Amino acid sequence: MEIRKENPVSRFARNESSKQWDLELESGNLLNADCILIESGSIKSSRLVDSIKKLGHRVNLLIPSLFAFDTPCHTLSELSGASIHKAEIEIMGSWFKQTGPILLTHKGISGPAVIKLFLGQLRNYIGKTTALSFKSIG
C-alpha cells in the first residue's frame, strides 16, 4: 500500500477494462489504484464533486461541522475569547435547546453547545435570521 499526502486529485474514474481507478493529480501526473479512499476535507470548492456525481453518488448541500453563529451584537464582540463552561442555549420560537460550553467570538457565539444545537437542524436555518437566547447555568 502506498499512501500519498499533499497530492491533490483533480479527477478520478473507474476504468472498467482494468478494474482499477484512474486518478489525475493536479500536477498532471496520472496514477492507477486498486482502491481509493476519499478524504475530501472541505469538498465545497473541490473539482472532485463532478467525479463523485458521475459514480452515481449524490452530494448534498454542504454544511460546515464547525461554525460560529454570527450576531450583530457589539456587546458580545467586546467579550471575544470568553467562554461559559455551562450554558443553556436555545433557538427562540422552537423547542430546540442545548446545554454545554459556549465560546464568545469576535463574530458571535460558537462552541460545543452551539454545534450540538444545530446538528441536524442547520439546513433549516442557513441564510435565515434566527434568534438565539443563552444563559449561564453554572
Cell digits for 119? Answer: 446538528
- Predicted TM-score (pTM) above 0.85: no
Task: Give the range among 16-25, 31-40, 56-65, 73-82 with minimum mean pLDDT.
Answer: 56-65
* Mean pLDDT, residues 59-71: 66
**Among all chains, which residue has been given the C-alpha cell 463532478?**
50
Residue extents of the structural domains in the chain: 9-54, 69-136
Q: Which span out of 32-36, 43-47, 89-93, 105-109 was modeled with the highest average pLDDT? A: 32-36
How far is 134 from 84, CA to CA, in rounded Å? 10
- Could you tell me the pLDDT band of residue 91, with boundaries at 50, 70 and 90? confident
pLDDT tens-digit map of 23-59:
999 899 999 999 887 766 666 666 777 788 888 887 7
How far is 73 from 106, CA to CA, in rounded Å? 10
Which runs of consecutive H residues, i.e. helices, occur in 56-134?
74-77, 112-118, 122-125
Is the predicted pLDDT of residue 110 greater than 80, yes or no? yes
Tell me which residue of 86, 89, 105 sits closest to 97, measured CA to CA.
Answer: 89
